[in-house]
Amino acid sequence: MLRVGITGGIGSGKTTVCKIFQALGISVFDADRSAKRLMAEDAVLKNQLIDHFGDDTFGADGVLNRTYLAQRVFNNEEDLNQLNQLVHPFVLTDYENWLLQIPKAPYSIREAAIMLESGTYKDLDVIILIDAPDELRIKRVIQRDKRSETEVQSIISRQWPMEKKRKFTSFIIQNNEKQFLIPQVLHLHELLISQSEHNASS
């Protein structure tokens, strides 16, 4: 099975694109959702987070204090990198276990926001980048998450610029509200099936 990654900056439309792939029968692993679940549930990871970020990382009820953690890492690159270094190995293990359980198919998808920045793309066969103009991404996130424009711009500034991301990607999907998404996804779907069949026969 071909391992495909989908990434893109905040507000680029990764989730929308993945829903189209899912409608075509392709299984999608949401790495960001996995990370949130593991931080809340995995005892070993929880202890590592407490060791680094302190007892306030979890409330007295054992629930992850997302507000506290977000404040710790929001403008602290060292803490953000440490958080990613702690969480990513657990997410990759979760992904490998997920691969063993999904239906057999020509390919599957792993969706992650900072796949390239974190280096977790290296075990994947194909990388798809979702591209969208910054002003459109900012507008989407403000509407979706009720964040301020300053907050969204701060998040964007910590992610790789599109020019750098393009160097690591196999395909680019334009989600700029000018080009239709579905034809682009259908085209890639056929290409990925063909590549998977080629790999299987070689």
Tens of pLDDT along 169-201? 999 999 998 999 999 999 999 999 999 999 988
Give the model's confidence band at 112: pLDDT under 50 very low, under 70 low, under 90 confident, else very high. very high
Selection from 202, 144, 166, 136 nearest residue 8 by Cα: 166
Angle at 112 between CA 109 and CA 116, to 5 degrees: 105
- The model's pLDDT over 128-167, given as tens digits with 9 standing for 90+, comes to 999 999 899 999 999 898 888 988 888 888 888 888 999 9
Nearest CA to 108 out of 199, 202, 18 is that of: 18
CA distance 50 to 68: 12
By the 8 A CB rule, do 39 and 145 touch? Answer: no
Statement: residue 118 has pLDDT above 90: no
pLDDT given for residue 76 in this prediction: 83
Across 12-27, average pLDDT: 96
Fold of 2-201: Rossmann fold (3.40.50)
In the DSSP assignment, the letter for residue 103 is: P
Spell out the residues 6+ positions from residue 45 whose beta carbon is closer than 8 angstroms to its own. 38, 39, 86, 87, 90
User: What pLDDT does residue 71 have?
Assistant: 87
pLDDT computed for residue 25 by the predictor: 96
- Residue 117 near residue 160 (C-beta atoms within 8 A): yes
Pairwise CA distance, residues 190 & 176, whole Å: 22
- Please state, in angstroms and rounded to a whole number, the distance separating the CA atoms of residues 72 and 78: 10
What tokens does 131 get? 């591209």
Average pLDDT of 40-63? 93
Dihedral sign (CA 13, 15, 17, 19):
negative
* pLDDT tens-place string over residues 55-96: 999 998 889 998 899 888 877 888 988 999 999 999 999 999
Question: What number is the average pLDDT over the span 114-137?
Answer: 93
Domain spans in the chain, listed from the N-terminal domain onward: 2-201
